[in-house]
Structure 1
């Protein structure tokens, strides 16, 4: 019988031997992802129809002007030469210069990144702080078939909200809370020097509602499974405090599956933030990359795709580290004894 001091399969003695191998594998994976993003971001802009030199030269430019601009931008060089120049610049910290603004791409990204990062990071924190406790509470209250009405209502409401696409949810929140009752501002006043915290309330709400519903349903199911294990039944039989049973023992054991799925959902939230900020006219990476595509601003597109992709990869890495801290079996290392 499992001891109450080490009550479940998720609570393990930690050995540092698994971490070096995990670090090597994950760093190698990051390098591969970085190179893949570098290649894909370069090749994908070649598929955008139109000639960037025409837009840069202006509507009244003649063929000689367009050719001169193409030469200045390096667009007349073979594609492999342009790729090597681009890759060499990236590896030295130079993402290139914008065709349209004649500014370093890293400057443009750094000016827009705080808006996207604020929405994405705040959204991830809110999702984890709300979804996990909500799912656990529903799982505890409906344990063993109790309160079936609550279980049914929870499933119906979360399923309905989760089925609404993020941009539709964003539009609904704008109509209801900004244009309707005026509870929060949609845009900052013209005299405001910068966006205030209130400007991010609706974007964050739009991006977190779906993931909260999805993850809380997973947590509810995993809570029901964990509460039905032998060691949890023993703990209840010994009349141990409910808070100690649920937080100290049940929570670590249900987080492994929850975080595995959450990693995929949280990564998707980064892409969702790019769409949501466009709905709310926030000057983040989303609106920036859309404008760059319309302007055929190749360096900006390549730089933003690379940055967004690496942020998503780092979020996945963080989730894997958290999983390793909870249960070292997820590190793929040697056997860890109970």
Structure 2
């Protein structure tokens, strides 16, 4: 008796769709909570900065009346709660305020500097994932079962050392060696100038990715060693399946869950590292903008840049969570935790 294959059960599809809807609801709620926290932090952080911006704007020779007038114009004489509600109201209407120093909209200043920080951060994220995952897998496969102990030791010592070097020290070292020591200023310019264009980002990206590459590669190497000893991988080796097929089709998806979970935290930290790296390489990004705004006590610029940097970090984590959901649907259930 011939039988026809049963069509796919719609329940499975509806279950997946429901899981994605629950995932989206949780992540949107998380983004809303992060946004609220950023509003509070970005407002209160400027209150901790010593000094009075009204005094700085009025000038060293200004009298008390002139300083009071400037403070009134800036709204700094209002109660703290009134300042906060006004700040939140402006943000919800898409207004980040006006710079005390430049008398320009803060969004104009932020978005003029944002491409530099975004270029370093996004390029760094891509480089870390493209280099660290294959590197860790190759070392993990080569040292499987205790083989090549010398390679395993060298890999661990080298990555551990490079990972321990702070980003600003690595940046300074690259400037001295690449741009100054071996004289490749045209290829590796030590500071940003329009003349060099994209070449000005080579050393900043290199400085920001070396540590994260080592961190992620060490995790990938460890996860590769665990996955290769799993029963299904032993069965695949017993069937004499091609090594590339075994490692890419079965080993890689199973180690990516843990790897991307850690990578979300590492890549978020890279955004903070980009702020410091920009100062070393004189890039006119958000990092140097925040430092200058703090020195000038330009509260609206500080608040706007802190808010934008925080939202970028939240979006990076959201992207990692989405990738995890595409790779392993079990993470849609909420068992995966990513800051």
Fold agreement, TM-score > 0.5: yes
* Map of 1:186 onto structure 2: 190
Distance 2:328 2:192 in 1: 45
| Mapping of residues 234-249 of structure 1, within 5 Å | 234-249=235-250
**Shift of residue 129, structure 1, vs aligned partner:** 0.2
Distance 2:274 2:22 in 1: 33
**Shift of residue 188, structure 1, vs aligned partner:** 4.4
2:172 pairs with 1:171: yes
Distance 2:101 2:322 in 1: 41
- TM-score, structure 2 length as denominator? 0.92
Deviations 1:272-291 (A, max 9, x none): 00011111111100010011
| Cα pair 1:95 1:106 within 8 Å, conserved | yes
* Map of 2:51 onto structure 1: 50
* Map of 1:27 onto structure 2: 28
Distance 1:195 1:73 in 2: 40
| Cα pair 1:170 1:276 within 8 Å, conserved | yes
What secondary structure does 1:17 align onto?
helix
**Shift of residue 102, structure 1, vs aligned partner:** 0.4
| Mapping of residues 195-214 of structure 1, within 5 Å | 196-214=197-215
**Shift of residue 198, structure 1, vs aligned partner:** 1.0
What secondary structure does 1:86 align onto?
helix
Distance 2:101 2:132 in 1: 43
Please list every run of 5 or more consecutive structure 2 residues that lacks an aligned counterpart in the other structure.
1-11
* Map of 2:115 onto structure 1: 114
- TM-score, structure 1 length as denominator? 0.92
Q: Hey, which bits of structure 1, 4+ residues long, moved more than 3 A? A: none
Cα RMSD for the two superposed structures: 1.5
| Cα pair 2:192 2:281 within 8 Å, conserved | no
Distance 1:188 1:328 in 2: 43
**Shift of residue 47, structure 1, vs aligned partner:** 1.1
Deviations 1:287-314 (A, max 9, x none): 1001111111110111111111111111
Cα distance change on mapping 1:210 and 1:333 into 2, 3 Å? closer
**Shift of residue 59, structure 1, vs aligned partner:** 2.3
Aligned pairs, how many?
320
| Cα pair 2:189 2:196 within 8 Å, conserved | no
| Cα pair 1:135 1:216 within 8 Å, conserved | yes
| Cα pair 1:17 1:333 within 8 Å, conserved | no
Q: Which one has more relative contact order, counting CA pairs under 8 Å at least 6 apart?
A: 1
2:138 pairs with 1:134: no
Deviations 1:248-291 (A, max 9, x none): 11100000000111110000000000011111111100010011
Please list every run of 5 or more consecutive structure 1 residues that lacks an aligned counterpart in the other structure.
1-11
Cα distance change on mapping 1:166 and 1:213 into 2, 3 Å? same
**Shift of residue 195, structure 1, vs aligned partner:** 5.3
